[in-house]
Amino acid sequence: MKKSVFSTTLLSLALLISGFAQAQGIETVYSLKFDSTAAVKAAMTELFEDDDLRGSKATLYAHDYGVPGDGTHTIVGDYDSYAARSKFSKARMESHGWAKYLLATQGTELVSADLVAVVKDYGKPRHTAGYLVAYTMQVGDPGRYVAALDKLHDAIGDPGVLRLVGIRSGPANVTHAVLIGAEDFVAANEYLDKLLTSDAYAAFVNEVDDVRKIHNVAMYRRVGAWGY
């Protein structure tokens, strides 16, 4: 019995390490309350015209369905490492573009800010999707979950984007999120129709049901992406 438990633990750890080895960096995720999508898109565009932000990457999403809190938009910054995040954050805060952005978005309310680590990408990078569905959850055995998600993806594929991330901040009972992205609202939801009614998904649920608890499902529309 001890040998079996030990072997299972090693397998879970190996799978988790493998997932992080394939990670493409970290994300900073900001939920904000804006009055105008057009205004914040224009402000973001002007911000990224500043030479001091060269190398920075960010995506702006408008909230569509199921997003908790009072935010209307989400901005996701992409970084290759913690050091890159510190470097680009400092450059942004000291830039003229940032001062202009703050002036153009007066009255904006910051609802939340979180740090996210990319565990594994099965498809294209997240910013390529025009529409994004995010399942936030608590995972008790990440290695087992990754193994099951691998099998699910092998069986059913993805609509363009399928990303697993580990959530490093915020409520302690939310540890991971699965991001499913497609060209648009129709493509994303048609994929979900196919996925959720498949035998492969039923098998996946049987494998992870006792180690996964879904807390929320939210949908986002991409407004713009800069620096990619």
Q: Per residue in 22-40, pLDDT tens?
A: 445 999 999 999 999 999 9
pLDDT exceeds cutoff 70 at 127: yes
Q: What's the predicted TM-score (pTM) here?
A: 0.88
How many whole angstroms separate alpha carbon 69 and alpha carbon 186?
25
Assess contact for 225 and 129: CB atoms under 8 A: no
pLDDT band (50, 70, 90) for residue 17: very low
Phi, psi of 63, deg, nearest 5: -70, 135
Query: What mean pLDDT is predicted for residues 133-149?
Result: 98
133: phi > 0 → left, psi -120 to 50 → alpha, else beta; which?
Answer: beta
pLDDT band (50, 70, 90) for residue 96: very high
CA distance readout (Å), 220 to 18, 29, 37: 29, 13, 13
pLDDT in tens, 161-200: 999 999 999 999 999 999 999 999 999 999 999 999 999 9
